[in-house]
Chains A and B, each alone.
Chain A
Amino acid sequence: MNALTHIVAALVLAPLIPGIINRVKARMAGRVGRPLLQTYYDLAKLIQKGVVVSHTATWMLAAGPAVSLAAVGCALLLLPGPASPAPVSFTGDFMLAAYCLGLSRLALILAALDTGSSFEGMGASREAAFSALAEPVLFLSFLVLAVGAPEISLSGMLGRGLTGVLAPERLFVPLILFIVLLTENCRIPVDDPTTHLELTMIHEVMVLDHSGPDMAFIVYGAALKLWFFAALTVLAVLPVRSLSPAAGWAAFLAGMLLVTVAIGLVESVMARLRLMRVPRLLGGAGALAALSLVLTVWR
């Protein structure tokens, strides 16, 4: 039961994250901003709408969002909570989580290509390229966490805090995970979710032709994915395992809030990178991860 609390929390609270990010951005720009619960309102509105389906599209356009959301949901099953391990956990489960997210990506890419729109093709192409580069970086940071963990699973690796006194290199892991978060969730500086020009978008341009419940699935799936990576980042830092459940939850939620605010701050103070600079950002993160891994293994 305890293990499922976190899943329920994720399912309920995830749409709050985009709201908080927007609020932070608005405040930084001197505006009041949308309501914090705006994403919930959007979702409620979207499921009450009908769909508009392109003449070109096949069943893929409808299947894409559903499969994508289901895959993100399965990845969440493997994520440990602040007070308990994940409902399912086994050695190497981080790979299943990463590949579930991969399936979710493939489903959205195919749904985008299904419309035959060149703009959506553009977004799909960029999403495929950048996520492929983010994948090894994510795995390298998992490996750093794996060294010395009791079990090489997400539940075994996360929530132990930055163990070891002489472990400055472990400090990089949350930073790297944060960069992966920004890349995988298409946030600034990799992608600008609020730009007005389709030519410069990645994720948002892929979903141009989705509407109604399909769009609701996509928005909700994106929020869950953001929750997944934010929780990963937080649990890589905080030693929630050694705290009491209540304190663990408090620390975890505070951490999530902090990460969310950090995303908002990054989005407020940075501009989107030129697309060809993104691989360099990921390369840097990868080098840092490799450095961290080499030093961790060496110690």
Chain B
Amino acid sequence: MEWLGLSLACYLIGAICAVACGGREAANRLGPAGALAGSLAGLAGVLLSPASAASHIVLPWGLPLGAFSLGLDPASRLFLLPVYVLGAAAAVSGASALAGHDACSDRRGTHWFFFNLLLLGLSLVMTARDAVCFLIAWEIMSLAPFFLISLHDDESEVREAAWIYLVAAHIGAACLIAFFTLAMVQAGGSSFETIAAAAGDGRLTAPALLFLLALAGFAAKIGLFPFHIWLPEVYPTAPSHVTAVMSAGMINVGVYGLWRALEMLGPPVAWQGWLLVGLGLVSALFGILRAQGLGGLKRLLAYSSVENMGLVCLGLGLGLVGRAAGDDAVAMLGLCGALFHVLSHAAFKGLLFLCAGEVLLVVGSVRIAHLGGLAKRMPLVGGLFLLAAAGIAGLPPLSGFIGELVLALAMLAGLDLPGLLPKVGMAGALAALAAVGGFALAAFAKAGGLSFLGQPRTPAAAKAQSRGRLAEAPLVFLAVCVVLAALFAPALLSLAGQAALNFPGMDLAPARAALTMALATTRTVCLISAALVVLAAALLLLRNRLTAAHGRRAAPTWGCAYTAPTARMQYTAGSFVEPTARIMPVPMGMTIQLDMDPGLFPARATLTVATPDAVKNRFFTPIFEAVARGCDALKVVQHGRVHLYILYVLATVVALLAWKL
């Protein structure tokens, strides 16, 4: 708790110092320093305290409503971990990216103010134990990114993305305010304990409505289908260090909120669990198929976040299904898998976004069509991107596999649930998980392979070179985290297990047994992974010995008897996914348009490959256009005559008085 206080204070001091320095170079030192110090202090607090400890503190607060009540328990600590790790890495990376003078250098003070505020808000959300306090922290945490995204607000895309973010964040927040207000009114108190007690007594009327409100509110933050549309708009336009924090720290806050809401709402019903399972699977499949189709690296990563959060939601759903059926092994494994996946996704996704940010700074674009051959020019960034890509595709020996394995264990345990439909549901979910794994492999083979391997497709990519030690330090730090997560996967899993054991209503004996089984499995997997690494290293050594003995020659890539191949002939992002796009036209939504002059020898031809998001274009855009038309129609009352505006106020006051008295 002391460490938490220290961390919050550091964030606050960093924020104030940054805004006080304004656009000067000092803001770019003090702001990140505050964020770094706060994150490291928080990290120390999380790592030093015993895994199962819970503490609670109530501070004075000037509002008539709610209380400033903060607490730390295993779940809070688990979700704070990625915030601190990514906060530290992103602070250094951002300081290096914003160093020097460019168009936005006079805004660095405010930028670092809001960056610190975002981290502060995130820490407060994850420790708040009171609905009002939670909502206020939620608003801080939701609003700060708006200003962070619009750092380069001279570009129209950035402004539009910031608006989309703001609208999405507030649609979610509206649902959450409704959820907490309803719960508070019915429970007669605003602390989480009161609400949970009321739910336990059955005093909450319409728990189904509360569940749906919480789900909608938090799903908008998590980016679950169909609320995912803000992610692919915002991530590519925001500065990369901000994106890293958002993708790895901020969207988790939605999962955290959903976790707390599920804890509060008491014993779950089976349909709620199956709804989460279905939503998770749809998000995962849709997200990864869309990710596969895209040609922009950051947009691809955004859809990959949709996929991974879908898997997390699937795990939460399995937890609820297990709880509702009274099978605590299923529940425990599902919840553990979800929490573990949150951690490993955060590490991989943060690393991937920071690597993409380096690419953007060096090449000036993250479109795969402009990249290629970067691993030869920036070996460290390329190597780390490929490492994280293999991890996020869920492949051993990295920890992404462990998360998916624990989810699979939950589904295998779920094969023993009574009834035909639950069994088939579990089996279907496992098959879908396998499909997601296969598509994720394809998507990240494309992302890593086409951007970093092969030949550079543009002169800018050909001239790329690494930006030096400071820029690469955060990448190395996160890579170390990824490797540590793979090495100490059992420890991380038991951390997740501690949080899951606290889920209300869990029968401890079978839950602990399931956790022990999962831990034993994880240890075995770690051993095999170690064997895999050793074997690969040995083979590589053998190969180098053999080639050293028998000669090594360099030659051009074989062009299949074509003598003048160019870099433009390489497979592109569009052509790489064309087979999948033909097999699954509906979710991928790839459109291919060929314009060619008629005749036998066409002089000019253009080929346009695009993958528009049908959910955005066919569902949300019409709705928002209708809202805009409705608002336009109201402009008759907005005419600019001030005295008539005063008349409106007067009329309203009179009408209200007449109505109530």
List the interface of chain A (C-beta within 8 A of B).
47-60, 62-63, 65-67, 69-71, 73-74, 77-78, 88, 90-92, 95-96, 98-100, 102-103, 105-106, 109-110, 113-119, 121-122, 124-126, 128-136, 138-140, 143, 146-147, 152, 198, 208-209, 212-214, 217, 275-276, 279, 290, 293-294, 297-298
Contact = CB atoms under 8 A, between A and B. Distances in A.
| Cβ-closest 9 pairs across A and B | A121-B571, A132-B438, A50-B551, A113-B449, A116-B454, A128-B442, A135-B438, A70-B536, A66-B539
Contacts of B546: 47, 212-213
A189 B562 CA distance: 28
B395 A213 contact: no
Contacts of B448: 110
A58 to B, nearest CB: 5
A8 to B, nearest CB: 15
Nearest to B446: A128
B553 A147 contact: no
A250 B268 CA distance: 54
26 contacts: A50-B553, A52-B555, A54-B555, A55-B557, A66-B540, A95-B405, A96-B401, A102-B441, A106-B390, A110-B386, A110-B445, A110-B448, A114-B453, A115-B557, A128-B576, A129-B577, A135-B435, A135-B438, A143-B415, A143-B427, A146-B415, A208-B558, A217-B543, A276-B579, A276-B583, A293-B424
Contacts of A198: 560
Which of B438, B454, B455 counts the most A-chain CB atoms under 10 A from its CB?
B438
Contacts of A124: 445, 449, 571, 576
Given A71-B532, A146-B412, A136 B521 contact: no
B528 A77 contact: yes
A53 B539 contact: no
Interface stretch (B19-27, B169-177, B374-382, B621-629): B374-382
Contact of B390 (A103, A119, A294, A297): A103
Given A52-B553, A100-B396, A121-B575, A133 B431 contact: no
Contacts of A126: 579
Nearest to B427: A143
B531 interface: yes
Interface in B535-553: 535-536, 539-540, 542-544, 546-547, 550-553
Nearest to B533: A70
B322 interface: no
Interface in B375-423: 375-376, 379, 382, 386, 390, 393-396, 401, 404-405, 408-409, 412, 415, 420, 423
A103 B393 CA distance: 9
A55 B577 contact: no
A28 to B, nearest CB: 30
Given A50-B553, A91-B409, 20 more contacts: A50-B552, A52-B553, A58-B376, A65-B543, A71-B536, A74-B531, A90-B521, A92-B405, A92-B521, A98-B434, A116-B453, A117-B557, A117-B558, A124-B449, A124-B571, A128-B441, A128-B442, A129-B579, A132-B441, A143-B427
A55 B556 contact: yes
A255 B544 CA distance: 38
A100 B567 CA distance: 32
A275 B579 contact: yes
A56 B455 contact: yes
A91 B569 contact: no
Given A53-B555, A56-B373, A139-B430, A109 B449 contact: yes
A182 to B, nearest CB: 17
Interface in B5-64: none
B460 interface: no
Contacts of A102: 393, 395, 437-438, 441
B432 interface: yes
B567 A116 contact: yes
B84 to A, nearest CB: 30
B543 A213 contact: yes
B272 interface: no
Contacts of B528: 74, 77-78, 88, 96
A202 to B, nearest CB: 10
Contacts of B555: 52-55
A261 B446 CA distance: 36
Contacts of A146: 412, 415
A69 B550 contact: no
Given A58-B376, A146-B415, A212-B547, A96 B396 contact: yes
B450 interface: yes
Contact of B434 (A117, A138, A208): A138
A66 B145 CA distance: 44
Contacts of A140: 427, 431
Nearest to A77: B528
A120 to B, nearest CB: 8
Interface of B is mostly: helix
Contact of A54 (B450, B547, B554): B554
B535 A121 contact: no
A143 B525 CA distance: 20
Contact of B404 (A91, A95, A293): A95
B365 interface: no
A63 B540 contact: yes
B405 A121 contact: no
B553 A51 contact: yes
Contact of B438 (A77, A131, A276): A131
B612 interface: no
Contacts of A100: 396, 532
B543 A66 contact: yes
Contact of A125 (B532, B547, B578): B578
A159 B123 CA distance: 53
B520 interface: yes
Nearest to B376: A58
B517 interface: yes
B62 to A, nearest CB: 53
A63 B614 CA distance: 40
Contact of B449 (A47, A71, A110): A110
Contacts of A214: 543
B431 A136 contact: yes
Given A55-B556, A117-B557, A105 B441 contact: yes
A49 B550 contact: yes
Contact of B442 (A71, A132, A298): A132
A69 B540 CA distance: 10
A69 B565 contact: no
B616 to A, nearest CB: 25
Nearest to B401: A99
A284 B542 CA distance: 43
A54 B394 CA distance: 30
A209 to B, nearest CB: 6
Nearest to A110: B449
Given A74-B532, A99-B396, A294-B424, A116 B373 contact: yes
Nearest to A109: B445
B147 interface: no
Contacts of A208: 558, 560
A96 B404 CA distance: 10
A110 B453 contact: yes
B454 A56 contact: yes
A129 B440 CA distance: 11
Given A67-B536, A117-B559, A297 B423 contact: yes
A121 B524 CA distance: 36
